[in-house]
Chains A and B, each alone.
Chain A
Amino acid sequence: MTHRPHRQHGLATLFVVVTLLAIAALVVLASSRHLLLAQFNAQNQHRYHQALDNAETGLAAAIANLSAGKSLPPPSALYTVTVQDLGEGKQRLISAGHHDGETVSVQRLLSLSPAPPSKDDNAINIMGDLNLGGAIKITGNPDAVLNVDGNVTLGGSVSGISTLNATGSITLKGNQQLDVLHANGDIQAANGQYQTIKSKGSVTLTGNAAAAVVLADGKGNFGNASVDSARLRGDVDINGGNTTVGSLATRGKLSSRSSNKVGPAQVMGDLSVSGWGGPLTATIGGQASYNTANKDIRVTRQPGLSIDIKEVEPVSIGRPVINALDYRALANYAFSADQSGHIRVAVRQVAGLEDGDYYLAGDAKGRRNLLCQKLDAQGRCATGPSEPLCKGYSDYNDCLTVQGRNWALAGVGMAPGLLWFDGNLKAGNGTYYNALIATGDIETSGDHTIYAVNYIGYQKVCRNEQFPNLTPLNLCDTTTGKLRLTTAGNIALLAGSASEGRFQGGDIRLGSSNHVYGNVLAGKQLISGGSSTVHGYITVAGQGLNGMMNQWSGSTTIDLSDLPESFQPGGGGSSGGGNGGKPTIRLLPHSWIDSGAGAQS
């Protein structure tokens, strides 16, 4: 008989129990596997979002830098920004955000093509008070604006002007037609038709003046006028029997003598109707005084009536300083006279000529208008004559003479570029592809035609057949065959200078048979002798007027039709040109792309 030891039973039992526990533990671990994934997911979710937000931070920083003309932000612990050139002026910005080992990228497409130039319709800018006795006509721009930094009195006629802005008051005497009158002072119109009148002072319309909308911070006085809609913060006095006023709101009181229809009106103050009155419907906050027998007057009293009428926004006009001295360093040819009366020319940035000082004189053979570096005892070019700088009526006629500081330009033409004169300039016959800039006054006369370089374009400025060896390098990009556009290139005529707070010259006097293609900038005032046409904008700075009014008595036409693409007459008054080198960044809509986690580029 064999006996098995009992110990074997116990070990087997323990083994079974431990095995069961192991199986149970494995089952628990297996069933909680999804929990481990959930843990990872939760932490990944947070890392992903923070990395995404860091990528957005990088994208915003890159867009801000590019818009400011700066380079991309350097890589940091938060983000790395790269750019891909897609051609056709498009670029792809890729910003990779980093956080706790996670990387998420976002993209944005940019357009580097220049945005449409900001529309500047300020065709005429006049500093100081203006008394317009003559005529101004603008064609080719239905949105043309006349800005006056001062008071305006229009006794003459204006046509083609959409908006008249004045920092002072506006007084219109004639039968004018303008879309917008906007003034910081009072506006008075004795006649005419207007779409919108906005005044920070009072508005007075008399005669047959008609306005669609009147907005004013002050009072309204309407005498035999017609107003479709008016909102005024001050009192309204309808003092003409034939005055018609449509929708009316005032925070003051309303008094009416009109027998025509008035209203519906909302009046915070009292209402007073003199005489029998006409049809009038009003809601008033104050007291009413009218002939109650007139059943066409319907008044509703609403004590405590409050009407919200916003203040008229003020007119703000930048006051330019026109100073020819600022342009001397930019000029290709700066003319001055020495003590002996010889013409000195400071040449700058001209192909075929070294920068420096030259004389403009003749030679022993009698030829005139030559640039040379030394003169002989007779005042003729001593060293080898160079290119003729300009063409007189013949090779033996002067094109430019000087008496004291008074210059006279007459002939066929001048080497293209920016011309600067120390003194007064009388520009006579000839066709010029230049900017004429003088520290004194400028007078045009005879058969004078002037084209600003931006107006005439590359061919006449940079490939001029008359002066093939005198190419102004600062205006011509000969590698691309395009003009270098500068705001100085928009100038046709600029007169006047300022030094140590003292103004000199600044009058521009236009002859009747002249043709001006470019901007005209008068430091003091513009005098139109007869009927002048300017194909550009006019700025009159009123420097040195000492409180006197700009008197505009001639007839001036501003023709803005068919302007060449290179000529942007509202391109600003600085001499630098362009927009300061800042690229124009435009974010393409719907171009934001989440490149996903882990994507770098």
Chain B
Amino acid sequence: MKCARGFSMVEVLISLVVLAVGVLGLMRFQGYLFHQQILANDYNAATNLAQTALEQRHAGASPAWCDQENFAPPEPNASGTLARFQCRSASKGDQTAVTVRWTTSDGEAAELSLTAPSRLQP
């Protein structure tokens, strides 16, 4: 009598369980990475926004972006990616600090700030 070939039901079930656990873990990790990528992009955009607002002041632009005491869009007509950020500026002595705040794709609040001289010698 020939031995039975192929997988037994138990083997298939165990394999499926192991595979399911592994794939679910990978999918969760992939989602985490996806959010982190968005966060990195937002971090870059916020840094550039803060630096732009400071350099507008160096160039004498008035009003410059983020020229308000409380968090608000960088400019009244902000749209697209720019509209996702809110910022404010505070001057102390000859220094100006621009703080940018936004909501991450996880729904959490994030914030960064840059400080530079309010005016530069031409």
**A residues in contact (CB < 8 Å) with B:** 3-4, 6, 9-10, 13-14, 16-18, 20-21, 24-25, 28, 32, 35, 38-39, 41-43, 45-46, 49-50, 53-54, 56-57, 60, 63, 587
Q: How far is the CA of A38 from the CA of B23 in the complex (A)?
A: 25
- Asked if B18 CB lies within 8 Å of chain A CBs, one says yes
- Asked if B22 CB lies within 8 Å of chain A CBs, one says yes
Residue of B nearest to A57 (CB): B117
Q: How far is the CA of A259 from the CA of B40 in the complex (A)?
A: 81
CB-based contact B116/A46 at 8 Å: no
Interface locus among B7-15, B60-68, B72-80, B83-91: B7-15
CB-based contact A57/B3 at 8 Å: no
Residue of A nearest to B29 (CB): A28
Q: How far is the CA of A60 from the CA of B117 in the complex (A)?
A: 8
Residue of B nearest to A39 (CB): B40
- Asked if B81 CB lies within 8 Å of chain A CBs, one says no
CB-based contact A28/B18 at 8 Å: no
**Residue of A49, A50, A53, A587 with highest tally of chain B CB at under 10 A:** A53
CB-based contact A56/B19 at 8 Å: no
Residue of A nearest to B51 (CB): A49
CB-based contact B11/A10 at 8 Å: yes
CB-based contact B36/A35 at 8 Å: yes
- Chain B binding surface, main DSSP class: helix
Q: How far is the CA of A25 from the CA of B121 in the complex (A)?
A: 54
Which residues of the other chain, B, contact A42 by a CB distance below 8 angstroms? Answer: 39-41, 43-44, 47
Q: How far is the CA of A525 from the CA of B115 in the complex (A)?
A: 59
Please name the 8 residue pairs, one residue from A and one from B, whose CB atoms are nearest each other, closest first.
Answer: A53-B116, A21-B22, A42-B43, A42-B40, A38-B40, A46-B47, A32-B33, A10-B11
Q: How far is the CA of A14 from the CA of B10 in the complex (A)?
A: 11
Contact A53 B121, CB 8 Å, known A9-B8, A13-B11, A35-B36? no
Residue of B nearest to A53 (CB): B116
Which residues of the other chain, B, contact A18 by a CB distance below 8 angstroms? Answer: 18, 22
Residue of A nearest to B46 (CB): A46
Report the minimum CB–CB distance from A129 to chain B (whole Å): 45
CB-based contact B29/A56 at 8 Å: no
Which residues of the other chain, B, contact A60 by a CB distance below 8 angstroms? Answer: 94, 117, 120-121
CB-based contact A9/B15 at 8 Å: no
CB-based contact B14/A14 at 8 Å: yes
- Asked if B103 CB lies within 8 Å of chain A CBs, one says no
- Asked if B112 CB lies within 8 Å of chain A CBs, one says yes
A-B contact list, 7 entries, CB within 8 Å = A17-B15, A21-B18, A24-B23, A24-B26, A32-B30, A35-B40, A57-B116
- Asked if B105 CB lies within 8 Å of chain A CBs, one says no
Which one, A4, A14, A32, A38, contacts B15 given CB within 8 A? Answer: A14
Which residues of the other chain, A, contact B117 by a CB distance below 8 angstroms? Answer: 53, 56-57, 60
Report the minimum CB–CB distance from B99 to chain A (whole Å): 12
Q: How far is the CA of A57 from the CA of B54 in the complex (A)?
A: 12
Q: How far is the CA of A377 from the CA of B59 in the complex (A)?
A: 81
CB-based contact B33/A35 at 8 Å: yes
